[in-house]
């Protein structure tokens, strides 16, 4: 049977309509940090100078990045964008590079680091300078979800992974765990842990489970895997209108896990900060300068202040990681005001403890997966 040209054209167009468009088949994924990426802000030196609480030099740790890390990290950064629109674009602005260095790069002593660029709600949107639509909020999540799926498809190869988020990054990752990981046993088995810092992870009161996740529970030991670590830091009793540590949802509470002692109680924290300051001229750079944290110069890439602060999770109506300075360590300032607590230093005030924890959890995961 001979087909006329009109019929052939109609069939071709009909078949083309059934195929996924290039936009839906391959959504844009941009990377801030990824192995092999040129000019990678997570690829920095790891040598560290240690100081006492009174800022006396104690020594230098020469830390080398492993040639073949045995697990991965997936990092989603907090609200940092100074773009004037409600939602950011995919540009890798200086504040993105700085926050990756501050919060994520240190973990490369243990893991391969993947960090997507996402069109986050900007500081202008967060502060109400410009209105934020539901589409802008949804777009931020979709960008991270698309990057997560691309990572699984192209790079993961069955490896264990640690999720790391702070502030807006934690809220995005909380939804990602709820929708993409918690319901899927195969993906839960790849989850070493989720460090969901500076946000609101909800669990059933007194249980460390339930709430946001059905299967992923609070981490209560250094060898527990597939679990979540969550906390927000304050160094004074949070006010009634505190942004973190409280929930009005009946039967639920905000999870607080002390990274230095997951089983509960009080413990010394190992605070770690980059020697190089946050990008100058940025909003977050100015705000970090107002914290009043420990400051010392060194030739190494990092500064460590072990034992300068003690951390303890409070319990009851408000659940936060209460920070106490020790031995003459500087008293940190809540920025921008007491409702935020020490939000801007959440990711660094116990960074040394978090890295040790990730190392122990990854070892347990690797042993169990043999």
Return the domain boundaries, the chain.
26-47+65-263+346-368
**What value does the mean pLDDT of the chain take?**
92
Contact of 138 with 318, CB cutoff 8 Å: no
Q: Which residues contact 161 (CB under 8 A, 6 or more apart)?
A: 71, 72, 73, 74, 190, 191, 192
Q: What is the pLDDT of residue 295?
A: 77
- What are the distances in angstroms from CA 365 to CA 75, 182, 215, 225, 358? 19, 17, 17, 6, 10
Q: What is the pLDDT of residue 268?
A: 98
Which regions in the chain score pLDDT beneath 50?
1-23
CA–CA distance, 125 with 95 (Å, rounded to integer): 16
Contact of 355 with 258, CB cutoff 8 Å: no
Taking alpha carbons only, the member of 229, 223, 217, 289 closest to residue 258 is 229
Assign domain 26-47+65-263+346-368 to a CATH class: alpha beta
CA–CA distance, 190 with 195 (Å, rounded to integer): 15
Taking alpha carbons only, the member of 141, 147, 171, 142 closest to residue 161 is 147
Phi and psi for 73 in degrees, rounded to 5? Answer: -125, 145
Q: What is the pLDDT of residue 188?
A: 97
Which residue, chain included where needed, has tokens 């009080």?
A: 266
Q: What is the pLDDT of residue 294?
A: 81
Q: What is the pLDDT of residue 10?
A: 34
Which residue, chain included where needed, has tokens 């001979």?
A: 2
The tens digit of pLDDT for each residue in 214-257 reads: 999 999 999 999 999 999 999 999 999 999 999 999 999 999 99
Length of the chain: 370
DSSP helix/strand/coil, 364: helix
CA–CA distance, 272 with 350 (Å, rounded to integer): 7
CA–CA distance, 166 with 284 (Å, rounded to integer): 14
Contact of 326 with 309, CB cutoff 8 Å: yes
């Amino acid at each position: 049977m001979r087909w006329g040209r009109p019929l052939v054209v109609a069939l071709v167009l009909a078949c083309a309509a059934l195929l996924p468009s290039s936009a839906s088949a391959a959504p844009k994924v941009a990377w801030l940090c990824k192995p092999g990426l040129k000019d990678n802000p997570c690829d920095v030196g790891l040598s560290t100078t240690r100081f006492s609480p009174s800022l006396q030099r104690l020594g230098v740790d020469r830390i080398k990045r492993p040639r073949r890390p045995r697990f991965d990290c997936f990092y989603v950064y907090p609200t940092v964008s100074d773009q004037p629109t409600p939602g950011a674009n995919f540009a890798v602005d200086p504040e993105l590079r700085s926050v990756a260095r501050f919060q994520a790069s240190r973990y490369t002593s243990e893991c391969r680091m993947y960090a997507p660029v996402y069109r986050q709600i900007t500081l202008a949107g967060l502060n109400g300078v410009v209105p934020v639509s539901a589409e802008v909020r949804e777009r931020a999540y979709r960008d991270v979800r698309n990057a997560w799926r691309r990572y699984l498809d192209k790079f993961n190869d069955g490896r264990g992974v640690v999720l790391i988020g702070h502030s807006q990054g934690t809220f995005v990752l909380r939804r990602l765990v709820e929708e993409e990981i918690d319901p899927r046993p195969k993906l839960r088995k790849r989850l070493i842990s989720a460090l969901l810092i500076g946000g609101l992870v909800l669990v059933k009161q007194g249980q460390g489970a339930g709430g946001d996740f059905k299967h992923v529970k609070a981490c209560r030991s250094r060898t527990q895997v597939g679990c979540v670590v969550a906390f927000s830091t304050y160094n004074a009793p949070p006010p009634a209108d505190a942004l973190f540590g409280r929930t009005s949802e009946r039967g639920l509470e905000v999870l607080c896990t002390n990274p230095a002692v997951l089983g509960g109680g009080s413990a010394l924290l190992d605070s770690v900060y980059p020697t190089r300051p946050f990008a100058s001229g940025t909003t977050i750079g100015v705000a970090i300068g107002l914290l009043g944290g420990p400051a010392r110069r060194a030739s190494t890439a990092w500064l460590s202040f072990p034992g300068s602060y003690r951390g303890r999770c409070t319990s009851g109506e408000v659940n936060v990681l209460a920070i106490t300075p020790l031995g003459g360590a500087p008293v940190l300032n809540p920025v921008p005001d007491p409702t935020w607590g020490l939000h801007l230093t959440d990711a660094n005030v116990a960074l040394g403890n978090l890295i040790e924890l990730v190392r122990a959890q990854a070892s347990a995961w690797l042993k169990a997966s043999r």
